[in-house]
Amino acid sequence: MQNEISEMTNIPQNTISQYETGKIQPTFEIIEKIATACDYKIIFKNKNTNDEINTENIGRKI
């Protein structure tokens, strides 16, 4: 599976392995890249209001 994700994202397989073992932490952008490659969407849900923010509608500073 690591090889497949590596090919889909152009992230080296050994880097993905280090993410899985906790040796290094991925940035949010890397998490988003992996999620997108695996057909997942990252959604943040406010427990109090049930408002949802996802990677498509989140405001980011550039």
**Nearest one of 31, 27, 34, 29 to 8, comparing CA atoms:** 34
Backbone dihedral angles phi then psi of residue 14, each to the nearest 5 degrees: -70, -30
Q: Are strands 52-54 and 43-45 parallel, antiparallel or unpaired?
A: antiparallel
Check residue 60 and give its pLDDT: 58
Check residue 56 and give its pLDDT: 76
Q: What burial class does residue 32 get, using C-beta atoms within 10 Å of its C-beta: 0-12 exposed, 13-18 middle, 19+ buried? A: middle
Domain boundaries, the chain: 2-54
Average pLDDT per 10 consecutive residues for the chain, totaling 62 residues:
94 96 94 93 91 77 50
Count CA atoms closer than 13 A to 59's CA, side-chain side.
Answer: 0
